[in-house]
Structure formats: C-alpha cells, structure tokens
C-alpha cells in the first residue's frame, strides 16, 4: 500500500534503531504527544527497541481522553432529550461520564448516531428539520477546521436546528504546563503530526526556544517515529534545542492556511478543563458569539453541570506522562476496556487502552520473549 508499507519496512526500522543506539551516550526521556503515535509505538514495540537509551513516556494527545468529565455529562444530558439527534465520532460513545455513557443513553432510547465527519451531522440536520441535531465537536486542532466549516455552513444556510457541543483542546498549552511542572522528566517531544498539518509548527519553535527543549514534528508510521526519535536524540546529544519537522510529506511550517482562516472565523481561544489535569488557561476553543445560535451549551442550558472524578483513577498522572498505565492499582482489574474508569482506557487512542491491548502481560513480568 502506498505511503504505508514504505514507512513500515522492518529493514529500515532496524537500521534506524542501530543509528539511535550508536548516538546515545546517556539515557534520555522523550514524550510523544499524540494517542495515534502511542498506539503505533505499542503495536510495533518500538519503545522496547529503543530502550534503555530512550525512555518513552506518553503524553496527553488523546482528545477523547481529555474531554472534561462535565462535558461528557453535558453530552449525555443533551443526547437523552427526546427532540435531540446526537451525532458523534464512534470512540466518544464508550467514554464514561459520571454515571452513564452514550451507548447506554442510546440503549435507553436516545437518538445517538455515529458519524464519520461533522458534514454527516449537517446532512442529518438538513434531512430532519424538526429534530435538533447536535454534533459532539471533540478534538485537538486537527478536527477543528471541519467543525468550523460545519458551523459556518449551518450559519450561512440558516440551519437553526444544527448545533455543536464544543470541546476542542489545544496542544501547546498542555506542553507548556508539562514543562513548567517541577516534576517534569521529559527532555524532548515528538509533536503531533496531524495537528501540525493544520496549524503548522511555529508555536513549537517558540516553546523550544523558551524552555530549551528539542521538539520534532512526527508522523504516525513506525519509521516516522523512529526517525523523529533519532532526530531528538541527535539534538540532545549535540546540545541543541530546536523545532524540526520529520513529517515533511504532510506538514509545512505555516500549516494549512485556509483551514486556519476558517477556524479563526468560527472559534476563539478560551480556558478549558482537561479531564484528569484540571483547567488550563487559553487551552481550548469555543464558538465566537456571532455563532451562538449553534452553540449547544447555550441552547440546551447545560452550563451548570459539574462532576467529580473517581479517586482511584490516575489518568491525570498518565496523561501528563508521570506514571505508566501499569503503575495504576486499578489497571486491568477494576479498570478494563469493558469497565473503564477513566477515558484513557476507553478511547482506542488512550495510553491505558494501548497498554491493555498490547502489553498487559508485562504487568506480571515473566519473560515471554
């Protein structure tokens, strides 16, 4: 398959691993930001291949995982309403709220639909003028342009029955928070390749300068990640701290200008609460006031919903890369993909789910290979 097989070539992978080993003179701690990157690392065992010279910790790049608990509860409240058709990406359906999840709301009679794109939700709104269609607009910067376009089109068409429940989060404020924390161990970052495809990597240049930490924009295939790791290790060994781009086939420094323009028209930056982390200033998007007719939070009056997270769940520490999923007392026992306590276990992109799927045998640590 084009653009995939080349980036999964085992011979090239071996060569990259050798180069990494040759460069490393002391152990380095690196973090990959995006959940999709975490999954690739786990699936191909790349973290094993680069150990012990490189220790990979997994960052908060799972938008499903970091969606605030009260936002999930708001979604459940809206979806349960008889006049609402609630449209969402598939992986949000399993995310646990305080007492329920969208699958259960669907089973109880709520009109919950899985869609592949916000445009599908827009089509539903056009086809069913007497239903209130609400789209769960979750994601990092990656999914924001499409969501912005959906709102913009709805506004232009006067589609008053279409609204979005916005829960966008931005990556750079999260990295900044990590770097400011006194317990931070991370010495280099693999920046999320598809976020940067949209917004470019200027902000990461600023972060690299301000905190003197190397950042490499990485792709999602195993060779992308190995190459990004090699680039980070080279910078660290040389004492450099710059932003570099490994994912050149997809990312340009300025990103996608048209997408950014649409996002700026529809969204404005706002403070946002991250599940397991808490509120981070200026770390999310909300709809601009001129689009409030399509803002589900205002239309359905759910602003007052608040929630508390279960005490045993350490997703806060996992999402910040301070603990591994296997460090959690509930992992694999009370917390499994079927009975998740926190979102990193639910979402396919979550660190806990990745560990559960690919590595849970390590918890009891008997040599299997």
Partner 1 sequence: MLLGHGSGGRLSAELVRDVFLPALGNAVLGALEDQATLEVAAGRVAFTTDSFVVKPLFFRGGDIGSLAVHGTINDLAVGGADPLFLSAAFILEEGVPLDTVRRVAQSMGEAAAAAGVRIVTADTKVVEKGKGDGLFVNTAGIGVVRPGVTLSAANARVGDRVILSGYIGDHGIAILAEREGLEFDNPIGSDSAPLHTLTRAMLDASGGIRAMRDPTRGGLASTLNEIAAQSGVTIEIDERAIPVREAVRGACEMLGLDPLHVANEGKLVAIVAPESAEVALAAMRGHSRGAEARIIGTVTGTARKMVLMRTSFGTTRIVDMLAGEQLPRIC
Beta strand pairing call for 132-139 and 162-168: parallel
Nearer to partner 1, 62 or 151 (CB): 62
The answer to the question of residue 43 lying near partner 1 (CB under 8 A) is: yes
The stretch among 122-130, 249-257, 326-334, 360-368 that binds partner 1 (CB under 8 A) is: 360-368
Determine which residue in the list 143, 163, 315, 320 makes contact with partner 1, applying CB under 8 A: 143
Which of positions 85-114 make contact with partner 1 (CB under 8 A)? 89-94, 103, 114
Residue 72 touches partner 1, criterion: CB under 8 A: no
Distance between CA atoms of residues 367 and 340, nearest Å:
28
Which residues in 275-334 contact partner 1 (CB under 8 A)?
A: none
In sequence order, what DSSP letters do the residues of 277-312 get, joined into one string?
TEEEEEEEEEE-GGGGGGBHHHHTT-TT------TT
Q: Does 138 help bind partner 1 (rule: CB under 8 A)? A: yes
* Cβ count near 322 (within 10 Å): 17
- Interface segment toward partner 1; rule CB under 8 A; list 209-217, 244-252, 266-274, 336-344: 336-344
CA neighbor of 117 nearest in space, from 143, 92, 93: 143
Sheet of strand 215-218, all strands in order from the earlier edge strand to the far edge:
54-61, 28-34, 188-192, 215-218, 243-245
CA distances from 135 to 230, 265, 347 (A): 40, 19, 18
Which parts of 187-216 interact with partner 1 (CB under 8 A)?
A: 194
User: 43 or 261: whose CB is closer to partner 1?
Assistant: 43
Separation CA 352–CA 328 (nearest Å): 9
- Per CB under 8 A, the list member of 7, 86, 135, 140 interacting with partner 1 is 140
| Minimal distance, residue 90 CB to partner 1, in Å | 3
Q: What are the tokens at 345?
A: 């276990």
The residue count for binding partner 1 (CB under 8 A) is 47
The two tokens of residue 22 are 């040759």
Window of 133-141, 157-165, 200-208, 327-335 that interacts with partner 1 by CB under 8 A: 133-141
- Rule CB under 8 A: say whether 38 interacts with partner 1: no
Q: Which residues, other chains included, contact 334 with Cβ-Cβ below 8 Å and sequence gap of 6+?
A: 312, 341
For residue 10, state whether it binds partner 1 (rule: CB under 8 A): yes
Cβ-based nearer residue to partner 1, 149 or 208: 149
* Rounded CA separation 241/235 (Å): 6
Which residue in 45, 53, 310, 332 binds partner 1 (CB under 8 A)?
45
In terms of Cα–Cα distance, which of 247, 260, 257, 276 is closest to 95?
276
Task: Determine, following the binding rule CB under 8 A, whether residue 146 of this chain makes contact with partner 1.
Answer: no
Contact pick of 53, 310, 332, 337 for partner 1 (by CB under 8 A): 337
Which among 336, 318, 326, 295 is positioned nearest to 135, based on CA atoms?
A: 295
SS3 175: helix
Q: 107, exposed or middle or buried, with CB in 10 Å at 0-12, 13-18, 19+?
A: exposed
* Cβ 40 to partner 1 shortest distance, Å: 11
4 binds partner 1 (CB under 8 A): yes
- State which of residues 96, 139, 172, 188 lies at the interface with partner 1 (CB under 8 A): 139
Residue 55 main-chain phi, psi, to 5 deg: -110, 120
Report the residue number, 47 or 295, with the smaller CB distance to partner 1: 47
Alpha carbon distance 167, 347 (integer Å):
16
Among 79-87, 136-144, 276-284, 317-325, the segment contacting partner 1 (CB under 8 A): 136-144
Q: Mask 151-190, x = binds partner 1 (CB under 8 A)?
A: ----------------------------------------
When asked if residue 365 is in the footprint of partner 1 (CB under 8 A), the reply is no
* Cβ closest to partner 1, residue 213 vs residue 319: 319
Asked whether the bond before 349 is cis by omega within 30 degrees of 0, the reply is: no
Residues 6 or more apart in contact with residue 227 via CB below 8 angstroms:
16, 218, 246
Enumerate binding residues for partner 1 (CB under 8 A): 1, 4, 8, 10, 13, 35-36, 42-46, 48-49, 63-64, 89-94, 103, 114, 116, 138-140, 142-143, 194, 222, 336-338, 347-349, 356-361, 366, 368-369
């Amino acid at each position: 398959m084009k653009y995939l097989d080349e980036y999964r070539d085992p011979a090239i992978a071996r060569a990259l691993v050798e180069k990494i080993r040759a460069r490393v003179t002391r152990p380095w701690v690196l973090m990959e930001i995006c959940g999709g990157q975490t999954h690739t690392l786990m699936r191909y065992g790349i973290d094993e291949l680069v150990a012990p010279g490189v220790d990979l910790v997994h960052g908060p790049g799972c938008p499903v995982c970091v969606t605030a608990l009260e936002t999930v509860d708001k979604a459940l409240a809206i979806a349960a309403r008889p006049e609402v058709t609630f449209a969402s990406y598939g992986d949000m359906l399993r995310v646990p709220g305080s007492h329920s999840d969208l699958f259960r709301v669907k089973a109880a009679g709520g009109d919950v639909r899985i869609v592949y794109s916000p445009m599908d939700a827009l089509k539903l709104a056009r086809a069913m003028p007497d239903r209130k269609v609400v789209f769960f607009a979750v994601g990092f910067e990656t999914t924001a342009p499409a969501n912005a376009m959906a709102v913009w089109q709805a506004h232009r068409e006067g589609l008053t029955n279409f609204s979005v429940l916005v829960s966008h989060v931005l990556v750079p404020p999260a990295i900044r928070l990590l770097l400011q924390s006194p317990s931070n161990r991370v010495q280099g970052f693999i920046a999320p390749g598809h976020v940067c495809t949209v917004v470019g990597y200027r902000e990461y240049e600023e972060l690299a300068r301000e905190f003197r930490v190397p950042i490499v924009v990485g792709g999602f295939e195993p060779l992308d990640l190995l190459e990004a790791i090699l680039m980070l290790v080279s910078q660290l060994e040389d004492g450099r701290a710059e932003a570099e781009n490994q994912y050149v086939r997809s990312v340009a420094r300025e990103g996608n200008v048209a997408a950014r323009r649409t996002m700026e028209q529809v969204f404005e930056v706002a403070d946002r609460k991250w599940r397991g982390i808490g509120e981070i200033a200026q770390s999310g998007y909300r709809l601009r006031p001129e689009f409030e007719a399509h803002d589900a939070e205002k239309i359905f009056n759910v602003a007052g919903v608040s929630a508390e997270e279960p005490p045993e769940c350490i997703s806060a520490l996992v999402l910040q890369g301070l603990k591994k999923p296997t460090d959690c007392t509930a992992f694999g026992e009370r917390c499994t993909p079927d009975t998740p306590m926190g979102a990193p276990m639910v979402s396919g992109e979550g660190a806990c789910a990745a560990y559960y799927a690919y590595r849970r045998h390590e918890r009891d640590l008997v040599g299997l290979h």
